[in-house]
Amino acid sequence: MAMLPSQADVFFQQNHCGVYRSDNRAEDWIDIGEDKLPTRFGFPIAVHPTDPRTIYVVPEESQEYHMSVDGKFAVWRSRDAGASWQMLTKGLPDQARLVVLREAMATDTFEEAGIYAGTNTGQIFYSRDSGDSWELLADYLPPIHSVEAAVVDG
């Protein structure tokens, strides 16, 4: 579950049965993925560090098939708190059956956010432009279970 940084009452979550937003401190949940995302199943979710209406998810085929939807690895972004979604693939592998686990996606704190996603097959992909384009940061690692990002001065 991810909390919006500037709105303490708003939460987002992605789980085995969808992507949801709560506008009242998790008392009620609104489905923000049904009929908008290619599948209801997935794990990671990240909130943009300076724009709390922008969120990122990585859907998976299904609970039975933990892999990229239709064999195409993509990160999905909403810039309007889940009202609409955009598939982001520029720089990501075109044909790949990858999984990003629940804790394996993170953002840094820059205005033009860096987004980082680690896969079950040992790659870390990153974006320096809030998800518009992606590059491979590391390869040939063991399965990645967790990714954290920090900005270090000096």
The string of DSSP codes covering 43-71 is: EEEEE-SS-TT-EEEEEBS-SSS-SBGGG
Q: Would you state the pLDDT for residue 16?
A: 82
Q: Would you state the pLDDT for residue 58?
A: 94
**Against a cut of 0.85, is the pTM above it?**
yes
Helices (H), the chain: none
Token digits of residue 28: 């009620």
| Least reliable range by pLDDT among 63-67, 76-80, 98-102 | 63-67
Q: Would you state the pLDDT for residue 110?
A: 86
Token digits of residue 10: 């708003």
Q: In angstroms, what CA-CA distances link 119 with 17, 28, 54, 82?
A: 21, 31, 22, 24
| Confidence bin at 152 (pLDDT 50/70/90) | confident
Residue 120 and residue 12: Cα distance in Å, rounded?
Answer: 23
Q: Compute the Cα dihedral for 119, 123, 128, 131 and give only its sign.
A: negative
Task: Please check whether the domain covering 2-138 is classified as CATH 3.90.1150.10.
Answer: no
**Model confidence at 29: pLDDT above 90:** yes
Beta bridge partners of 135: 126
Burial per residue of 25-37, b for 16 or more beta-carbon CB atoms within 10 angstroms, e otherwise: eeeeeeebbeeeb
In 4-152, which ranges are E strands? 11-15, 18-22, 30-31, 42-47, 55-59, 75-78, 86-88, 105-107, 115-118, 124-127, 135-138
Q: Would you state the pLDDT for residue 45?
A: 94
Report the pLDDT averaged over residues 38-52.
91
Cβ partners under 8 Å of residue 76, min gap 6: 37, 56, 57, 58, 59, 85, 86, 87, 88
Q: Would you state the pLDDT for residue 6?
A: 43
- The domain ranges of the chain are 2-138
